[in-house]
Chain A
C-alpha cells in the first residue's frame, strides 16, 4: 500500500512536469490574478503573493518498518503593498497524512513527531535602504546556508545533515538588522539578530532560544562561490541557562549544474547545575579520553557536512554527502554517508531517492532508503 501511494505521488509529479507551464511572469495586470507554477499566485496589484509547497516522504529503514507520510504542507504569503514595508508569513502542516512514528521521546528529549500546525515564520521588514532593513517577528535563524533554504523543494536530499537539526533552533523570535553592502563590486550580505526568548507558537519539536545574540556574514568570492560566517551567543530553554557560543563557516559553489556545499559548526558551553550529562558506561566509542560532562565542564558540540551535486542529463542529478556530528548530550560521534538521485523536471517539482548509511543509528539518523516528492506551488 505505501508503495502504491508513493507511485501515485510520482505519477502526479510527472503529470505536473509534463504540462506546458509558463517559465516566467509578465508584469501584473492590475485587475488580474496571476499564477505561475513554482512562483506563486500574485493577487494583481494588491501586493499579496501566495505560495507554498507539499512533500510526501517514504522511508524504509533497514531495521524498522516502512513509513509513508505527507511530511509538509506549507503555505506562505507575503505582502509588498508599500515601497519600504514587507510582511511575510508561513504556516506548515506537518505529518498531515501517514503512518504513526515511534511514540517515545527521543534521546534529545523531543516528543514524538506528530501531526501538528507549525508557525514557521511571521515577520515584518522595514527597508531603510539596500544596506539596512529592520526585521521584527519570527524568522529562520541566520546560521549556515542550509537552514535558510531548508524547504524540501529547495534542497537536494530528503534527509537533512545532522548538524543543521541539532545545534541550534530553526527559528528565532526577535529583531534583526540586515542588508547588502556593496563592497568590491559585490553585495556582501549581513544579518545581526537578537531575541529575549519569547518564542511565538513554540513548536513541540523545537528547543527554542532562551536568549540569543548572533550575526551572519555572506561574502561572495567570485560569481560562483560564496563564503558564509556565522556566530551566536545563546542559551536554550532545555539547558538550564547554560551559556553557549556557536561559530560556523559555510561554503557554496555552483557552476553549470555542478554544486558543492559544506558547513562546519561548533558550539561550546559550560555545564550549569541541572545540565550535567552522565556518560553511558556502555557507550565506549563516544567518550573521548579527558572528556568531562559534569557541572562547570567546558564541552563542545561540533559537526558539519560536505555535499556534491553533479548533473547526469535530463534534469537528473547525482548527489553525495558525508556529514558528521559529535554531541556530548548523546555522547556519541556519528558519521553518515548518503548517495542519491534528484530529478527536477521543472521549476517546482523535485523527486529524490537516496540511501543513507550512518555509523550508528540514533534519533538523528536512519539507515536505509529515503524517497520524497516535493512540489513548490
Chain B
C-alpha cells in the first residue's frame, strides 16, 4: 500500500515526457511488473563506500560534474542510456531535468573541457563496471544490487524491477 502511494507520488513528480517514457517502457517490457513501484539503488564499489552514504544534493553535483571528489578519491559517475526508464527517473529525481533538458548544459561544459558521465548499456554492465572501478558511482534497480557493490542511497517510486 505504501509502495503504491510512493509509486503514484513518484510518477506525479516526473515531468510529462519522463512519465510517458517510463510508462511506455513498462508497456513494452514483456513479463515485467508495470507499476512504478520500484526502488533505485545508487551504488559504488563494495570496498569504496563513503561513510554516511551520499545525499541527493551530492549526487546532483556529482552527475553535473561539479563535485569531482569523494574524500580524496576522484569520482566517476556512470549513466544508463538516455531512454532507459531508470535513467529518466534518476535524472528527474536527482538533477530535476530530463536528459534532453541537460543537452545545452553539457554543450557548455564540453566547451570548457568537461565531458558528461559515461554511459553503459545495461544494469548488469553498470554493476560490473562500478564493482571493478574505484570511484565509480552508478545506479540500478535495488533488486539487482548484490554484494559486488555497496548501496549508498535509494530512491523510491521508480520503475519496477524486471528481475
Q: A residues near B, CB below 8 A?
A: 23-28, 38-40, 42, 49, 51, 76, 78, 83, 86, 88, 127, 129-130, 148-149, 151, 153-154, 180, 182, 185-187, 189, 223-224, 254-257, 259, 347, 376
Q: Are B129 and A27 in contact (CB under 8 A)?
A: yes
| B45 contacts A by Cβ under 8 Å | no
Query: For residue A148, which residues in chain B have a CB less than 8 angstroms away from its CB?
Result: 108, 112
| B31 contacts A by Cβ under 8 Å | no
- Bound complex: CA of A255 vs CA of B16, how far in Å? 13
Query: For residue A256, which residues in chain B have a CB less than 8 angstroms away from its CB?
Result: 15, 101
Which of B64-81 touch A at CB < 8 Å? 64, 66-69, 74, 78-79, 81
Q: Are A376 and B107 in contact (CB under 8 A)?
A: yes
Closest 3 CB pairs of A and B: A223-B96, A78-B113, A185-B57
Check A180/B119 contact, CB under 8 A, given A88-B113, A149-B111, A186-B57. no
Min C-beta distance of A143 to chain B, whole Å: 15
Count of chain B residues with a beta carbon within 8 Å of a chain A beta carbon: 35
Partner of A26, one of B64, B69, B118: B118
Number of A-B contacts (CB under 8 A): 92
Which of B1-35 touch A at CB < 8 Å? 15
Query: For residue A180, which residues in chain B have a CB less than 8 angstroms away from its CB?
Result: 61, 66-67
- Bound complex: CA of A49 vs CA of B81, how far in Å? 22
Which residue on B lies nearest to A86, using beta carbons?
Answer: B113
Q: Are B97 and A223 in contact (CB under 8 A)?
A: yes
Partner of B107, one of A38, A127, A130: A38
CB pairs A–B below 8 angstroms (11 shown)? A25-B115, A38-B110, A76-B113, A88-B113, A149-B111, A180-B61, A180-B66, A187-B67, A223-B97, A254-B104, A347-B107
Query: For residue B74, which residues in chain A have a CB less than 8 angstroms away from its CB?
Result: 83
Q: Are B115 and A39 in contact (CB under 8 A)?
A: yes
Q: Are B111 and A27 in contact (CB under 8 A)?
A: no
Partner of A24, one of B15, B69, B79, B111: B79
- Bound complex: CA of A376 vs CA of B108, how far in Å? 11
Q: Are A25 and B118 in contact (CB under 8 A)?
A: yes
If A27-B118, A130-B66, A189-B66 are given as contacts, then 17 extra A-B residue pairs at C-beta distance below 8 Å, sorted by A number, are: A24-B116, A25-B118, A26-B121, A38-B110, A39-B116, A40-B110, A88-B112, A88-B113, A127-B69, A148-B108, A154-B111, A180-B67, A182-B57, A223-B96, A223-B97, A256-B101, A376-B107
Query: For residue B64, which residues in chain A have a CB less than 8 angstroms away from its CB?
Result: 187
Query: For residue B79, which residues in chain A have a CB less than 8 angstroms away from its CB?
Result: 24
Query: For residue A42, which residues in chain B have a CB less than 8 angstroms away from its CB?
Result: 115
- Bound complex: CA of A26 vs CA of B118, how far in Å? 5
- Bound complex: CA of A223 vs CA of B129, how far in Å? 30
